[in-house]
Amino acid sequence: MKEIVSRKSLLFLFIMTFVLFIMSWFFVLRSTSSSHFFDHKLLPNSKLFSTLDEKLLKHDEVVLKVFLYDLPPEFHFGLLDGKPSGNSVWPDVRTNIPGYPGGLNLQHSIELWLSLDILASEFPQASKARTVIRVRNSSEANIIFVPFFSSLSYNRYSKGSPHVKKSRNKILQEKLVKYLTTQEERKRSGGNDHLILAHHPKSMLDARMKLWPATFILSDFGRYPPNIANVEKDVIAPYKHLINFYVNDNSNFDSRPTLLYFQGAIYRKDGGLARQELFYLLKNEKDMHFSFGSIGKDGIKKAIEGMHASKFYLNIAGDTPSLNRLFDAIASYCGPVIIDDKIELPYEDVIDYSEFCIFVYTSDAIKENFLINFIRVIAKEEW
């Protein structure tokens, strides 16, 4: 008799399956336009992750069986102008990986990487320590994966023209709901064993209410009612960091002249009041950089230079908890100082952020001189 696995166990297994790849974003920032899927330059540090894989393989049921819906290309690689191979709806990712758009689009490229991970699991060259495998029979699967690149759909096609009643993004969501509601897999389970990507906070706006029994991969819960998305059933995944990893770093505490760095939106929605208060408190401090900035023009270049020259980076309430800025700071060896009372960080059940982050209550941070004095007394050895 087929073993029954609890929903909580399934979610844990899935998180452990993909956390390896997601954590690789701390170590590598590569283009997805490489001509060969198994180019080692594209992959995470092989020694590090082979060790992690070996540890995971010691546990039973570590290989997660995933059934992948063969959705038409318009839902996934067609959005990247990828061409299907032969009679398949999928491109041959061993020889051609369609490039993912740059800029802020990269924050949500998890939808591409998870799909590639599942597709690659079938190849003979796949790692023996793989933690996920695609199965063709849905009754054998632990989870049903819905490969809709919803963030890309929102970023590219959410704005309709004056002569078109519905945007392409809205039409794709309607088609997806219609497709899923006719599938035997969803009829059998009600959809609670389905995994759906909705990483951009505004993606799946029209379909989320109709597909809510599924597990969503989100960047936060901020735009969802608690009955639709919550910590009990869904997964919060980090944004992909945007800046290059700091290779051959010879910097040290003394060589980084800026004590505390922040560049971003000063006037923000939730938590924005604290951000404004901190701006007025810190803007004139000689060894602190606190100014407005965006990704436009040379924004990323300035962020790279600023973080690489700073000891600490200020992460303030008002941003998505999983924002790429946090992981940009980590990749730059620029210690994150998190000002947020209720923040829920990605994978905090398996990652102890207190080992490399500093947490400060908002009420303390906005007291005059508190944050300045607190950061200044951190010794070189602690940094």
What was the pLDDT predicted at 259? 92
For the cut 90, the answer to whether the pLDDT of residue 53 exceeds it is no
What was the pLDDT predicted at 135? 96
DSSP 278-295: HHHHHTT-TTEEEEE--S
Q: Find the helix packing angle between 324-331 and 299-308, rounded to 10°.
A: 50
SS3 for 90? coil
Two structure tokens written together for 123: 């190849």
Spatial separation of the C-alpha atoms in residues 111 and 113, rounded to whole Å: 6
For the cut 80, the answer to whether the pLDDT of residue 1 exceeds it is no
| Digit-coded pLDDT (tens) for 191-213 | 999 999 999 999 999 999 999 99
- Residues 220-241 have a mean pLDDT of 86
> What's the one-letter identity of residue 142?
N
Residue 102 banded pLDDT, cuts 50, 70, 90: confident
What was the pLDDT predicted at 106? 84
For the cut 70, the answer to whether the pLDDT of residue 356 exceeds it is yes
**Which stretch of 35-39, 52-56, 188-192 has the lowest confidence by average pLDDT?**
35-39
Spatial separation of the C-alpha atoms in residues 97 and 37, rounded to whole Å: 7
Spatial separation of the C-alpha atoms in residues 190 and 181, rounded to whole Å: 9
Spatial separation of the C-alpha atoms in residues 228 and 212, rounded to whole Å: 5
- Residues 268-291 have a mean pLDDT of 78
Residue 324 banded pLDDT, cuts 50, 70, 90: low
Q: Which of 10-19, 67-76, 309-318 has the highest mean pLDDT?
A: 67-76
What was the pLDDT predicted at 301? 75
SS3 for 37? coil
For the cut 70, the answer to whether the pLDDT of residue 15 exceeds it is no
Contact (Cβ atoms closer than 8 angstroms) between residue 100 and residue 80: yes
- Planar angle of CA 116, 119, 125, nearest 5 degrees: 100
Two structure tokens written together for 328: 């940009």
Residue 293 banded pLDDT, cuts 50, 70, 90: low
Residue 48 CA to its chain's centroid (Å) = 20
What was the pLDDT predicted at 198? 97
SS3 for 312? strand
CB 80: neighbour CB atoms within 10 A? 19
What was the pLDDT predicted at 156? 93
SS3 for 176? helix
Two structure tokens written together for 281: 């408190």
Contact (Cβ atoms closer than 8 angstroms) between residue 69 and residue 183: yes
Two structure tokens written together for 43: 């992959």
| Digit-coded pLDDT (tens) for 124-181 | 877 666 789 999 999 999 999 999 999 999 999 998 777 788 999 999 999 999 999 9
Q: Which of 32-41, 51-60, 78-87 has the highest mean pLDDT?
A: 78-87
- Residues 31-36 have a mean pLDDT of 33
- Residues 250-259 have a mean pLDDT of 88
Torsion of Cα atoms, 269 then 330 then 57 then 1, to 10°: 0
Report the chain's mean pLDDT, rounded to a whole number.
79
CA-nearest of 374, 370, 165, 199 to 277 is 370
CB burial string 161-198: b at 16+ within 10 A, e below: eeeeeebbbbbbbebbbebbeeeebbeeeebebbbbbb
Contact (Cβ atoms closer than 8 angstroms) between residue 320 and residue 358: no
| Digit-coded pLDDT (tens) for 263-278 | 777 766 555 677 788 8
Can you list the domains of the chain with their CATH numbers? 7-236 (no CATH), 258-376 (3.40.50.2000)
For the cut 80, the answer to whether the pLDDT of residue 288 exceeds it is yes
List the beta strands (DSSP E) in the chain: 64-68, 132-135, 143-146, 194-197, 215-218, 235-236, 258-264, 288-292, 310-316, 335-339, 358-360
SS3 for 10? helix
Q: Provide the whole-model pTM.
A: 0.71
**Which stretch of 88-97, 270-279, 307-316 has the lowest confidence by average pLDDT?**
270-279
Query: Rounded to the nearest 5°, which phi and psi values hold at 158?
Result: -80, -20
What was the pLDDT predicted at 308? 85
